[in-house]
Amino acid sequence: MVSDYSQYAWLIPLFPLLSFLILTAFGRQTKEFGVYISIVAGFISFVIALLIFFERLGGNMENYTWNQFEWLKVGDFSLSMGFEVTNLNALMLVIVTLVSLVVNIYSKGYMHDDDRITVFFSYVALFTFSMLGLVISVNVLMFYIFWELVGVCSFLLVGFWYFKPEAKAAAKKAFIVTRIGDVGLFIGMLLLFWYMPAHALDFTSIHNAIMDAKIPGNIVTLIAILIFVGAIGKSGQFPLHTWLPDAMEGPTPISALIHAATMVAAGVYLVARTYDIFSASPTAMTVVAVIGGFTAIFAATIGVAQNDIKRILAYSTVSQLGYMMLALGIGAYTAGIFHLFTHAFFKALLFLGSGSVIHAVHTQDIHEMGGLAKKMKVTTWTFAIGALALSGIVPFSGFWSKDAILSAAWHGHPVLFWVGLIAAFFTAFYMSRLFFCVFAGKAPNGQKAHESPFSMTMPLVVLAVLALLAGFVFTPFNPWMGTWLTGDAVDEDANWAVMILSTLVGFAGIGLGWLMYGKRSIPVDFISGKAPWLHTLLYRKYFIDELYDVVFVRSLKRIGQWFNRFDDYVVDGAVRALARGGFAIGQLGTRLQNGQVQSYGLIMLLGLLILALVLAGGRFI
Amino acid sequence: MIDQLPMLTLIAFSPLIGVLILLFVSKENGRAIKVIGIATTMIPLLLSAWLYADFLTRTAVGFQYSEQHEWLRIALNHEMLGDQIKSFIYEFKYNLVADGLSLPLVFLTALVGSMAALASVLIKKRWKTYFILFLLLEIGMFGVFLAQDLFLFFLFFEVTLVTTFFLIGIWGYEKSVQAANKFLIYNGIGSAVMLIAFFIIVNTAGYTQENGPDGLVISYSGDLHAIMNNLFSDTNAMVHVQPDPQQFNPFFLSNTMKWTLFIMLVVAFGIKLPIFPFHTWMLKVHMEAPPSVVMIHSGILLKMGAYGLIRFGILLFPEQAKGWAVVLAVLGVVNILYGAALAFVQKDFKLVLAYSSISHMGIVLLGIAALNPTGLGGAVFQMVSHGLISALMFLIVGCLYERTKTTTLSELGGLAASIPFISGILLVAGMASLGLPGLSGFVGEFLSFLGLFATMKGIATVGILGIILAAVYVLRAVLRITFGKRPESMAGFRDARLVEAVPMIVLVAFIVLLGVYPAVLSHPLNQSLIGFDQLIQTLNLKIGG
């Protein structure tokens, strides 16, 4: 089948790039107009992405690859740039452009009063461009380039309110922690380059090389794990998860963008894109699954004890990304991507909803909110849909994707299955805690809240519809998405046991949350009163930040200071000593030239004497 | 048309025009002096851009521009050696060559030279002397990258030394005289070592004898081509003839001697680069020299060290380089990590940049140590890129100091609010410096590490950890200056004036260009690297067999 639209996929990142360039060049003069440029550009990209998506839905299409632009050729290294459209890419293009468009529209209302609104929109445009470029990358280096650009954009946006010390610290942390992961990917890429036949780095060649087993097994494992280190950094997996919750310092629409469609999705997407390499190494797969599973439950437990609405959502992102990694690690490729897909919608929804709440009450602490259900109808309803989807309640989208992952784990990975199930309980619990604290009960004294403007509620409604319906593309009863993504027929039976278990667990979590925070029939300090250490441990996020501070930050500072002293006293000291020596010899020389003719004569005489002695001595040797 | 013109001479000596005009301008007329000084630097910039564009159209492998003239012939007493010898001379040629290795650096010199000339508007006194020295310095730098005769190279090298000495000493900050002295002593030692090494090379590898019509013609040549020809192509050259009891051969270069020469060259150029532990002089220079001079110094002069190391150290003694590849790589890693750790704790922004230069030059060393075209290509990329980035950084330092009167990090802060344009450029420069893809720094880093990875995976991996540290120290300094709360003392500044903004934008444009489309630099490079590759391969055969 001829690709009518896929060949124009390069236009999709182009529009956000243009909008970035225009806004950067004319920035402050454009004001309101700049915002519209951004929204229109985002809309065009979204339309093209949709066209490509539907084109690919239509038939069994080949991947479309264009790889003609010679970018760099030095010595053995030669690389062409281009773009590639596969079914996975097409799906991602839709997710990214859609979420980005929605965030753009929402931000028009949310950021209305900020004087740097055009700067904000230009950063968002650059962010979208980078993520789209990453999605259609044709080779690993191009992927890495956009990968880093995504990182820097999230840095810029997290630090958007640069005058706030917290924003500054969070931006710095986001950049540096993810960079640690990037180094893994970087080394993996170099290793791949030297082991690939003909030093090719494009995804097609990688696929072929792995299929023909051209790379030794242990090297494949090493490469896969190094690539995964990159994904750990970007997707906020343990132990590099610490930046993601701090990234809440950015404006809330950005949190939606980062957590749903761009930054953190990039890590999962990376593993999916290089899935051939992972599949070839059972060890690497196990690592991915275990890290994912651990992160899922680890972050979910932290989420239980946080009070900041955005932080709770942030830890839930970390946890959900863990699910996706878990899925990819146990070979449930479609389930992992599916969860990325549904999660993008309901997480964007939840963040934008929380933004709407924060916009109204000007606090982020859930204990300082309450009773918003009466004042903010749209926000409440949409937020409830998002929360139910996240908690995995049938028939919301999150249920289907989480169920797909748990069913896959059920077969042969009992430990990971139970880990996932328990994490699901915590998820349901912290979401219902959040929901009842914010929307139920009574408003704190004097708090006046009102519904947000249409430009903010409209995106909420759109996302709520998607969060409700998106799950139906891949249910055990209708698994066409799996067939479409992988090309193989998926014959998944409905696993009723898993469905019932996960539903029960979900209701149990919500129920407990309702009893504690909604009905208040169980005291809030029911557990924290009995085991305050547990609460502290969770509230302080297992003290990971403190640990890193001591182990890495302070020790680096100390090493630097030692070196500084060493440089000053030893290295430069040696030079100074040498210079002093030279100076002393020079002074000796000047003393000789003191203008006293007698001393010159004396030295001359001495010299002659020595010369004579040498000559005389030479004769006897 | 370009073939008929002596382009290389025109580029190298066009700044003289400005010097001559300036001699007739009153030293009080600051405005005219500045205009003439800046305008003059545009001539070599345009010429070298033209030459570069022309080079991009050439596809012949190993293509180069060259100009050769008789220059210095010192006749020696040939009768002393007997009747059969008809001529006995020292021959130094005026031999200028621009190949894929030197042309990018020539263009970089012209570009950074012009931008630094623009930044020289910040200079407050004695403009006439300043610009005359500045233009002479530019001639010296062009000469260094173009000269392919050892003596000519040395002359140009010394020109840069003397002019820089005065530029630092007279127009620098409080302790500039001390810094200038340290600069002179250190680099003087380097030059001395280089001179001795060159002298030995000319007298051994530069020796040729030919049968003329009337008898033997003997010459010592400083011409790099003659020397390389003797060393690598002409297996009968005297430099290869083992002396034995019957025949004494003073022209023979023993292995020991080659090693000595190689190490001397590493030291001589290592001081300039600088390689740890020879780096302390450049800290002072970065601290005390005026920003426009540091732009040149950090942007171009340091590159002379790397260039000399490649051109003379590696290309003349590839076997020794191969033997020392691990040493060079380890030194490179030490530079990277040591520089980065120190940059992290500095209290003054200029010192952060100084140590970051050390760290970045470590990557150049790594690329060189890889001894394959990929790595060497990376080294040159890194040189050009660092030239652009550090020039931009010190331009910003100059502009900041104009306003804030301090570069101490703890006194700065929140400048993004008062001078958003300069702060934005600083952020871009910082991102380029930490190797963000899409900007020039990444390509050099990537290729250097890629090249080294082929031969020394372990060392390369340790070096790569440096890119985390780069992010740490760059962000610490840049965010300290631009982000955060703004102290009272940091309010009310004017954002960049046109004369400041133009060089910033130009430099950023080139940084982006190299990052987005590196083929503009890799094309000329490749043509030279192919020749280099052959050299290495024949050597491998020789060593292997």
**A83-99: pLDDT as tens digits:** 888 888 888 899 899 98
pLDDT band at A325 (very low <50, low <70, confident <90, very high): very high
CA B279 – CA B336 distance, rounded (Å): 13
Q: Closest by alpha carbon to B273, among B256, B239, B298?
A: B298
B482 touches chain A (CB under 8 A): yes
pLDDT band at A107 (very low <50, low <70, confident <90, very high): confident
Residues A14-30: what's their mean pLDDT?
A: 83
Neighbours of B260 (CB within 10 A): 16
Residues A438-448: what's their mean pLDDT?
A: 76
Q: Are strands A77-85 and A64-74 parallel, antiparallel or unpaired?
A: antiparallel
Q: What is the predicted ipTM?
A: 0.89
pLDDT tens-digit profile of B161-172? Answer: 999 999 998 888
- The three-state (H, E, C) secondary structure of A120-163, written as one string: HHHHHHHHHHHHHHHHCCCEHHHHHHHHHHHHHHHHHHHCCCCC
Determine the straight-line distance between the first and last CA of chain A, rounded to whole angstroms: 99
Question: So what's the pLDDT on residue A621?
Answer: 46
Contact B453 A191 (CB under 8 A): yes
Q: Are A146 and A127 in contact (CB under 8 A)?
A: no
Question: So what's the pLDDT on residue A587?
Answer: 78
Extract the tokens encoding B361: 């030059």
Contact A556 B344 (CB under 8 A): yes
CA B40 – CA B34 distance, rounded (Å): 10
Question: So what's the pLDDT on residue A30?
Answer: 65
Residues B58-77: what's their mean pLDDT?
A: 82
What angle, rounded to 10 degrees, do the helices at B15-23 and B127-146 form?
160
Question: So what's the pLDDT on residue B544?
Answer: 40
State yes or no: pLDDT of A60 exceeds 70.
no
- Chain A residues touching B377 at Cβ < 8 A: 74-75, 77
Interface residue of A74, A166, A183, A572 to substitute, partner B, most B CBs within 10 Å:
A74
CA A360 – CA B55 distance, rounded (Å): 63
pLDDT band at B543 (very low <50, low <70, confident <90, very high): very low
Lowest pLDDT segment from A171-175, A361-365, B30-34: A361-365
CA B360 – CA B339 distance, rounded (Å): 8
pLDDT band at A505 (very low <50, low <70, confident <90, very high): confident
Question: So what's the pLDDT on residue B449?
Answer: 93
Q: Are B39 and B156 in contact (CB under 8 A)?
A: no
CA A42 – CA A12 distance, rounded (Å): 9
CA B361 – CA B18 distance, rounded (Å): 33
Count Cβ atoms within 10 A of the Cβ of residue B233 and give its class: 0-12 exposed, 13-18 middle, 19 or more buried: exposed
Q: What's the whole-number average pLDDT of chain A?
A: 84
Residues B368-387: what's their mean pLDDT?
A: 90
Question: So what's the pLDDT on residue A553?
Answer: 81
- B355 three-state secondary structure: helix
Extract the tokens encoding A546: 């403190």
Lowest pLDDT segment from A307-311, A401-405, A471-475, B193-197: A471-475
A557 touches chain B (CB under 8 A): yes
A 132-171 residues with CB < 8 A to B: 141, 144-146, 148-149, 152, 159, 162-163, 165, 167-168, 171
Neighbours of A274 (CB within 10 A): 25
State yes or no: pLDDT of B473 exceeds 50.
yes
pLDDT band at A617 (very low <50, low <70, confident <90, very high): low
Residues B332-342: what's their mean pLDDT?
A: 92
Residue percentage of chain A with pLDDT more than 70 = 95
Is the four-CA dihedral A400, A403, A407, A413 of positive or negative sign? positive
Question: So what's the pLDDT on residue B533?
Answer: 64
State yes or no: pLDDT of A492 exceeds 80.
no
Residue percentage of chain B with pLDDT more than 70 = 97
Q: Closest by alpha carbon to A404, among A308, A316, A326?
A: A326
State yes or no: pLDDT of A493 exceeds 70.
no
Nearest beta carbon to residue B468 from set A163, A179, A560:
A179
Question: So what's the pLDDT on residue A143?
Answer: 92
Nearest beta carbon to residue B374 from set A77, A171, A579:
A77
State yes or no: pLDDT of A556 exceeds 90.
no
Q: Are A103 and A257 in contact (CB under 8 A)?
A: yes
CA distances from A598 to A592, A604, A611 (A): 11, 10, 20
Amino acid identity, position A249: E
Contact B341 A187 (CB under 8 A): no
State yes or no: pLDDT of B540 exceeds 60.
no
- Chain B residues touching A577 at Cβ < 8 A: none
Residues B443-462: what's their mean pLDDT?
A: 90
State yes or no: pLDDT of B394 exceeds 70.
yes
Residues B103-132: what's their mean pLDDT?
A: 90
Please give the distance of CA B414 from its chain centroid, rounded to a whole number.
35
DSSP state of B238: G
State yes or no: pLDDT of B299 exceeds 70.
yes
Q: Closest by alpha carbon to B452, among B525, B531, B372, B530?
A: B372
Residue percentage of chain B with pLDDT more than 90 = 40
State yes or no: pLDDT of A619 exceeds 60.
no
pLDDT tens-digit profile of B479-526? Answer: 888 888 877 777 778 887 888 889 999 999 999 999 999 888 888 888
Residues B279-292: what's their mean pLDDT?
A: 89
Neighbouring residues of B526: CB distance < 8 A, sequence distance ≥ 6: A73, A74, A75, B100, B373, B377
Please give the residue that has the higher pLDDT: either A34 or B433.
Answer: B433
State yes or no: pLDDT of B545 exceeds 50.
no
Amino acid identity, position B225: H
A579 touches chain B (CB under 8 A): yes
Neighbouring residues of B93: CB distance < 8 A, sequence distance ≥ 6: B68, B69, B70, B71, B72, B149, B152, B221, B222, B223
Our separate counts of H helices and E strands in chain B read 24, 4
Nearest beta carbon to residue A165 from set B417, B465, B484:
B484
Extract the tokens encoding A100: 């980005």
Lowest pLDDT segment from B198-212, B238-252, B444-458: B238-252
Question: So what's the pLDDT on residue A114?
Answer: 80
Neighbouring residues of A113: CB distance < 8 A, sequence distance ≥ 6: none
Question: So what's the pLDDT on residue A28?
Answer: 67
Residue in chain B closest to A561 (alpha carbons) equals B345
Q: What's the whole-number average pLDDT of chain B?
A: 87
B485 touches chain A (CB under 8 A): yes
Nearest beta carbon to residue A148 from set B345, B436, B447:
B436
Question: So what's the pLDDT on residue B362?
Answer: 93
pLDDT tens-digit profile of B204-248? Answer: 888 888 887 777 888 888 888 888 888 887 777 777 878 887 777
Question: So what's the pLDDT on residue B536?
Answer: 64
Count Cβ atoms within 10 A of the Cβ of residue A231 and give its class: 0-12 exposed, 13-18 middle, 19 or more buried: buried
Q: What is the pTM of this model?
A: 0.89
pLDDT tens-digit profile of B310-329? Answer: 989 888 888 888 888 899 99
pLDDT tens-digit profile of A580-613? Answer: 887 788 777 776 666 677 777 777 778 778 777 7
Neighbouring residues of A40: CB distance < 8 A, sequence distance ≥ 6: none
Integer-rounded Cα radius of gyration of chain B? 24
Cα-flanking dihedrals φ and ψ of residue B366, to 5°? -60, -45
B13 touches chain A (CB under 8 A): no
pLDDT tens-digit profile of A133-155? Answer: 999 998 899 999 999 999 899 89
Extract the tokens encoding A372: 């918003």
CA A206 – CA B490 distance, rounded (Å): 53
Separation in Å, CA of B196 to nearest CA in chain A? 20
State yes or no: pLDDT of A400 exceeds 60.
yes
CA distances from B427 to A5, A246, B437, B471 (A): 38, 21, 14, 12
Neighbouring residues of A510: CB distance < 8 A, sequence distance ≥ 6: A391, A393, A428, A429, A431, A432
B305 touches chain A (CB under 8 A): no
Q: Closest by alpha carbon to B273, among B193, B359, B197?
A: B359
